[in-house]
Homo-oligomer: A and B are copies of this chain.
Amino acid sequence: MPAPLFPAPGPKRELEEGTVLTPRFGPDGLITAVAIDADTSEVLMVAHMNDAALKKTLETNEVWYWSRSRGELWHKGDTSGQIQTLVEMRIDCDQDALLLKVRVAGDGGCCHTGRRSCFYRVVEIDGSGRLRPPQSP
């Protein structure tokens, strides 16, 4: 078995108040990562990292995810030019979610549909279960 890339999570106090990165990957080996625009704070996308993707992100300062659909490491922007440069990373209290403050290269977009953010549709909160029609990419 290869050596783990990060130390194992410690007790609650260390997990929440400590100064060692001990990410809690889920049963699928993944941790949730939320990417926001470093300048505007706009939420751009939610994706996932495995231990190797997190390691590469910290080593290169460019964001790597784990593509669940393709089952492979995903250097975001490799084909689209929409490279995400990491400005700041934060981790939450129980170390099972990451916040990535990024600057996006290329045309500045994040979503494969052509929009800047993946969150381009509003859910009507009238209980109708409708989405407000999205603007074109």
Chain A residues with CB under 8 Å of chain B are: 6-7, 16-21, 32, 34, 36, 40-43, 45-46, 58-59, 61, 86, 88-93, 97-99, 111-113, 115, 118-123, 125, 127, 129-134
Contact = CB atoms under 8 A, between A and B. Distances in A.
Nearest to A57: B125
Given A90-B123, A92-B119, A97 B46 contact: yes
B6 A131 contact: no
B88 A131 contact: no
B32 A133 contact: no
Q: Which of A58, A89, A112, A119 has the most CB of B within 10 A?
A: A119
A123 B21 contact: yes
A17 B91 CA distance: 32
Contact of A17 (B16, B43, B92, B134): B134
Contact of A89 (B7, B36, B122): B122
Nearest to A93: B118
Contact of A113 (B16, B20, B121): B16
Contact of A125 (B19, B86, B115): B86
22 contacts: A7-B129, A17-B134, A18-B131, A19-B121, A19-B132, A21-B129, A21-B130, A21-B131, A36-B43, A41-B42, A46-B92, A59-B127, A86-B125, A88-B125, A89-B125, A91-B123, A91-B131, A92-B111, A92-B118, A93-B111, A93-B113, A99-B119
